Structure 1
Amino acid sequence: MRQLFCIILGLCMCANLTFAQNKSLSLDPQKAEWFKDAKFGMFIHWGLYSMLEGSYKNRTLPDSTLENGNTWYAEWIQMRLEVPSNEYKTLAKTFNPVNFDADAWISEAKNAGMRYFVITSKHHDGFALWDTKVSDFKVTNTPFKRDILAELVAACKKYGIKYGFYYSHWQDWEYPGGGMPNWMPMVPDDQFEKYWQEKSLPQVKELLVNFDPDLLWFDTWDWPTHITDKRRDELIALVRENSSKCLINGRISYLNPGDNIDFLEMHDNQYPDKMLDKPWQTPATMVHSWGWHAKDYAWKPSSEMLGYLVNNVSKGGNYLLNIGPKPDGTFPKAATRRLREMGAWMIPNQESIYGTKPVKVETSVGVYLAQKSENSKHYLYISLTNATDKVHLPFDVSTIKNCAVLESNMPISFSKENDGVTFNIPQSLFKDCSVQVLKAEVSKEL
């Protein structure tokens, strides 16, 4: 009998432990509602790598003469252009972005219509943009001395912007045992575990406790050798235990994010062609590089980026648009101009973006749909990225009460055609803006 009692007691303890573990990992879908409604955010890649501007000792990315140099990603310059670690670390001795103004950055995000902000708190180089107590490789040990994250968090609170931090939990090229790119010798797992326990987990806890972020943006892709399911769950549990609101993205373990993340993260500049089961977003660049690259001139026009935004919104996703600030702490002029152009478009068209839901019908190329219900009324938004004279949708014409251009309220005629409804689009509509939005009042949710 005593043996049976011990067995039962042991099983109960295991069950309680499993319940506690599952509880620490569990997510609350309601806390992601703000994220699903926000749609548009600003991403920042900034650090010591910005000082090199994509070039090192007469080599400039991309450099196909080096085995791994054929990329535009300037934030990877230490590894891609084979900068010796001791040389790279000396950049901290001269890091002094005297023109950095957190208020100016967040004001630009606000005016562009962005509702949340994410910055690289620590990228793969291991350099921290806050006054971490875990490592001496940090911004407050540079001539600049100021805590960049603290200033940005204060500005976000001032402007009512949600905020989060990118944190490279897997790769760290400064700390012994930190993960390395796949062309480098693989770090033994016991050494990685030392890094994991001594730097990665403690710094994540610091970010949570010190700044209370709305989300954490972790980063792996298709060769995360050390982020096992056990470590993934350990990190998720750490976040859940220290924050009741912080969202976790799917790149915490790109190949196997599990069921306890809050939103999926697409690959760089990846735009799904269908709706997904979880909230999701695309991290996207204005040029090729994420970090500042002085010779990357491939600036996307604002019209193209607005097209990506309405595409993602039509599929229930978000658009996290990146800027790589310059070494002095200012935004590139080309980035600022595009932000302001997008902000000008958002002023009259924002109701077609925020708080909308997708419409589950197929449309032709360049036609994107979203819907919203307010005060017992239902609205359909039709975003057009290509000039056209007609738009045909598979809805009963009787469900359409009226339709107009959202910006100007110019009426749009429509009629029954081929078991659907056809909207007649004036060609003059596309003279001033390449992305136009129609608003139709409908009789029910579609």
Structure 2
Amino acid sequence: MFKFPKYTFIAFTAISCLTGLNAAHAQQHNMSKQYQKPDDQAVQQKLDQWQDLKFGLFMHWGTYSEWGVVESWSICPEDEGWTQRKGPHGATYDGYKKAYENLQTTFNPVKFDPDKWVKAAKFAGMKYMIFTTKHHDGFSMFDTKQTDYKITDSKTPFSKNPKANVTKEIFNSFRKENFMIGAYFSKPDWHSPEYWWPYFPPKDRNVNYDPEKYPEHWQKFKDFTYNQIEELMTGYGKVDILWLDGGWVRPKNTIDTAIDWQRGIKFNQDIDMPKIAGMARKNQPGLIVVDRTVSGQYENYTTPEQEVPATPLSNPWETCMTMGNSWSYVPGDHYKSTHDIVQLLVKVVSRGGNLLMNIGPGPDGDWADEAYDRLNGIGNWMKINGEGIYNSRSVAPYSAGDIYYTKNKDHNRIYAFVLTKQEKVDLPASLKIPLNDIKKVKKVTLLGSAQKVKWKDSADGIELSIPASFNQIGLKQAACFAIDY
């Protein structure tokens, strides 16, 4: 994922109780200040479909899972302060990077079974997925022809496995279950000699030479990037989302000097997004492109990271957040509870966004048991309350105390989610639900119960009379009242 040494907040709610403080600090991500609606009508239509899905799966996976370190970041010179190089290879940078890249020769995730993942994700109610085809370290989790630093190269033990091209296997498994398919791709590539040219030492996350002074090197990198993305857009079936990370790779005229981390971009790193997106959409009509933090025609939705906006945003957006504390596999990681994840989903959707929940597979190719447990618990809740999540949009007052609202985008139905601090829902005998601009309520029901709910008008909404039986049906995490008007 993205990491910024200094960052700005854009009116976010505090959720430190839901995410590890160190991980949140390390991975902070600020959004673009301006949003441009895509001109392509097919993209607009796909975006509208994507906004209905609400809940997606993210997976960060690579050779770094063998060491249990935070993705690629330990090989980036500027990030030593928060992702220290440890162990026998950490004495020198060159020695550490060589040992890190040598993980390719031992990477053998023999428990890899994408059908197992899709079964769990589908039960949880997830509807789309984004997979890291290549992170910043440059190790390709697909069968690229542009480099031998890839999972399918003969130096990688797993290359002999019939499922060695894990990107293709993952995409096929999830596509069979009607998931929207997304390819995460890092624009910077710290393994490519055309990005970190060996003639110069790397100083930070950026290209280590001036592309305008050495245009032939930069052109080779542009061609390399284009060719890899073309492979993903032509050889891996239908792809719905191209999710581009590494926002420091951008045209110089898009740098916002009011943002600390962007002031650190010294060179013009224009990789010709119009050409890349044009090719990608020729092969994948309607493709959603997410060029993170680079506002314009190629940032089709924004991506607040590890945070929930305090108020609805005027554009399509997605909160990407870790289920544990880390984006990638870390031994003994602390996973958020089912209770916290469900309530996080409700809060995100009440603001009109999607939640992209990340799980990092381990070096053996499987998820931790805790991940399956959480997905099972979420699925049990979604079976009862999912109708208030999917196909919904934000609606004022958005939230009032512990009550959060969504609205069915096609019908006059509002959903009021009552969040509780404990696992078991314990509703009061009387519950006031504030409503905005609703002249006449026709019916109120509690999802998961066939019993009618009595209500009366109040000064700013309605007041419900809650039967004691509602607390006997075993509702957990949050209750949802459907209000027809």
Query: Does the pair score TM above 0.5?
Result: yes
Structure 1 stretch displaced more, 394-403 or 299-308: 394-403
Aligned residue-pair number: 402
Query: Once the two structures are aligned, what percentage of the paired residues are identical?
Result: 28
1:386 and 1:435 in contact (8 A); partners too: yes
**CA–CA distance in 2 between the matches of 1:153 and 1:185?**
31
User: Which residue type is aligned with residue 66 of structure 2?
Assistant: M
2:70 and 2:327 in contact (8 A); partners too: no
The equivalent residue for 1:8 is none
Is 1:130 paired with 2:145? Answer: no
- What is the deviation of 1:333? 0.6
User: Which residue type is aligned with residue 274 of structure 1?
Assistant: T
Structure 1 stretch displaced more, 323-332 or 419-428: 419-428
Is 1:109 paired with 2:112? Answer: no
1:316 and 1:357 in contact (8 A); partners too: yes
| 1:311-322 matched pairs, under 5 angstroms | 311-322=347-358
The equivalent residue for 2:440 is 399
| 1:54-203 matched pairs, under 5 angstroms | 54=69, 68-71=80-83, 84-141=96-153, 142-145=156-159, 146-169=164-187, 171-178=188-195, 182=204, 186-189=208-211, 190=214, 193-194=218-219, 196-203=221-228
| 1:411-426 matched pairs, under 5 angstroms | 411-425=452-466
Describe the superposition over 1:97-140 as per-residue Cα deviations: whole angstroms up to 9, x where unpaired.
11101111111111111011111000011011111011111111
**CA–CA distance in 1 between the matches of 2:182 and 2:145?**
20
Match of 2:383 among 343, 347, 355: 347
**CA–CA distance in 1 between the matches of 2:371 and 2:309?**
25
| 1:373-388 matched pairs, under 5 angstroms | 378-386=412-420
Match of 1:52 among 42, 46, 67: 67
1:283 and 1:321 in contact (8 A); partners too: yes
**CA–CA distance in 1 between the matches of 2:84 and 2:345?**
23
**CA–CA distance in 2 between the matches of 1:328 and 1:396?**
54
**CA–CA distance in 1 between the matches of 2:326 and 2:332?**
10
Helix, strand or coil at the partner of 1:84: helix
2:447 and 2:481 in contact (8 A); partners too: yes
**CA–CA distance in 1 between the matches of 2:150 and 2:64?**
13
The equivalent residue for 2:50 is 35
**CA–CA distance in 2 between the matches of 1:322 and 1:299?**
11
2:339 and 2:477 in contact (8 A); partners too: yes
**CA–CA distance in 2 between the matches of 1:327 and 1:181?**
29
| 1:275-314 matched pairs, under 5 angstroms | 275-296=312-333, 298-314=334-350
**CA–CA distance in 1 between the matches of 2:271 and 2:146?**
23
Evaluate the alpha carbon distance shift between residue 396 and residue 175 of structure 1 in structure 2; reply closer, same or farther with a 3 A threshold.
Answer: closer
Evaluate the alpha carbon distance shift between residue 400 and residue 138 of structure 1 in structure 2; reply closer, same or farther with a 3 A threshold.
Answer: same
The equivalent residue for 1:435 is 478
User: Which residue type is aligned with residue 162 of structure 1?
Assistant: M
User: Which residue type is aligned with residue 372 of structure 1?
Assistant: N
Evaluate the alpha carbon distance shift between residue 130 and residue 54 of structure 1 in structure 2; reply closer, same or farther with a 3 A threshold.
Answer: same
**CA–CA distance in 1 between the matches of 2:93 and 2:115?**
34
**CA–CA distance in 2 between the matches of 1:55 and 1:37?**
32
The equivalent residue for 2:252 is none
Q: Which runs of 5+ in 1 are unaligned?
A: 1-21
**Could you say which structure has the higher helix fraction?**
1
Structure 1 stretch displaced more, 46-55 or 278-287: 46-55
Q: Which runs of 5+ in 2 are unaligned?
A: 1-35, 197-201, 248-260, 422-426
Describe the superposition over 1:198-255 as per-residue Cα deviations: whole angstroms up to 9, x where unpaired.
321211111111123110111135438367567344433333333212211141xx1x
The equivalent residue for 1:16 is none
TM-score (norm 2): 0.75
- What is the deviation of 1:429? 3.7
Structure 1 stretch displaced more, 320-329 or 353-362: 353-362
TM-score (norm 1): 0.81
1:403 and 1:441 in contact (8 A); partners too: yes
Helix, strand or coil at the partner of 1:144: helix
- What is the deviation of 1:183? 6.6
**CA–CA distance in 1 between the matches of 2:79 and 2:182?**
34
Match of 1:335 among 371, 374, 381: 371
Is 1:261 paired with 2:299? Answer: yes
**CA–CA distance in 1 between the matches of 2:301 and 2:93?**
34
Helix, strand or coil at the partner of 1:131: coil
- Greater Rg by CA: 1
2:396 and 2:436 in contact (8 A); partners too: no
Is 1:244 paired with 2:258? Answer: no
Helix, strand or coil at the partner of 1:434: strand
**CA–CA distance in 2 between the matches of 1:421 and 1:281?**
31
Evaluate the alpha carbon distance shift between residue 173 and residue 415 of structure 1 in structure 2; reply closer, same or farther with a 3 A threshold.
Answer: same
Match of 1:408 among 438, 449, 458: 449
User: Which residue type is aligned with residue 92 of structure 1?
Assistant: Q
Structure 1 stretch displaced more, 43-52 or 178-187: 178-187
**CA–CA distance in 1 between the matches of 2:39 and 2:433?**
46
2:359 and 2:367 in contact (8 A); partners too: yes
1:54 and 1:294 in contact (8 A); partners too: no
